[in-house]
Amino acid sequence: MAQTQVILLEKVDKLGGMGDVVTVKPGYARNYLLPQKKALRASKENVAYFDAQRKALEAQNEKTRKEAEKLSAKLKNVKAPVIRQASESGQLYGSVTARDIAAQINGVSDVKVDRTMIRLHDNFKTIGLFEVEVALHPEVVVPVIVNIARTEEEAKIQADTGRALIADADSDVPMEEVIEEIIAESNEENLETVLEDSALESEKVKKEQAAAKAAEDEAKAAKSAEKAAKKAAKKAAEAPEEEGEATVEIGASE
């Protein structure tokens, strides 16, 4: 199949950076790069146009990159809940697409995200917690957690426990019991984490106290050594005077 050469107007993941002339499949250029204004066909006229406009394009790219970096802070730690019908085994009756994810992110944050910014290889077909990359700019990519659940309540439980509420397909255990078990296990894990953190904090305090005591002892030893040195110096300074006085007394007696 014939290939198409394009000149990139911005960085494109796994393809190249701004100004690179690359060879791609015609469909990729026609359906994605060109309509998204990420590239121009690498004709002589377009190459000449890019060379003439390069500084302006680079300045504009830098401006949009800085704006994207400011927005990225608002997306950090965002968890976008997506409510869908699903079986107890977690299979969705349908799928969750990039458009769905963009809509949910827009609903829980101040950042306006377009579906083309969502990096998604395949639509999601099960409930659970999934990390998705949001490209606010070719050089600014932010991870966002997509929380797909059957209800708002289950979405909250999944967010709190970090686990998908999925029942074993071969099990007869009701979903309510599965949820209770997951919550109980999560509480136990959290308790263990708290105890571990407490033990680590206690050990840290002990080490800090030991270090402080060692520093205090060292300071006392240094102070004692300093006093001893001063005392020795004073004694050494007084010794010649005493010797001189003794000599004078002997001479007077003669």
Residue 129 lies in a domain: yes
Domain count, the chain: 2
Dist CA 30 CA 39 (whole Å): 10
| pLDDT > 90: percent of the chain | 36
- Identify the pLDDT of residue 201: 58
The mean per-residue pLDDT over the stretch 239-245 comes to 55
Instruction: Give pTM, 2 decimals.
Output: 0.59
Residue 197 lies in a domain: no
The answer to whether residues 60 and 87 belong to one domain is no
Of 19, 44, 74, which residue constitutes the final position of a domain? 74
Sorted by sequence, the CB contacts under 8 Å of residue 136 that are 6+ apart come out as 68, 71, 72, 75, 111, 113, 117, 142
Q: Is 127 helix (H, G, I), strand (E, B) or coil?
A: coil
Q: Is 171 helix (H, G, I), strand (E, B) or coil?
A: coil
More confident residue, 215 or 67: 67
pLDDT digits (tens, 9 = 90+) for 99-141: 999 999 998 888 899 998 999 889 999 988 899 999 999 899 9
Residue 91 lies in a domain: yes
Residue 9 lies in a domain: yes
State yes or no: pLDDT of 195 exceeds 50: no
The answer to whether residues 115 and 126 belong to one domain is yes
Q: How many residues does the chain have?
A: 254
Residue 238 lies in a domain: no
CB-based burial, 194-215: b 16+ in 10 Å, e otherwise: eeeeeeeeeeeeeeeeeeeeee
For residue 160, the domain's CATH number is 3.10.430.100
Is residue 250 very low, low, confident or very high in pLDDT (cuts 50, 70, 90)?
A: very low
Across the chain, what does the average pLDDT equal? 80
Residue 156 lies in a domain: yes
Lowest mean pLDDT, pick from 27-36, 59-68, 189-198 = 189-198
Token reading at 80: 């976008």
Instruction: Identify any residues that bridge with 96 across adjacent strands, giving them in sequence order.
Output: 124
- Identify the pLDDT of residue 76: 83
Residue 147 lies in a domain: yes
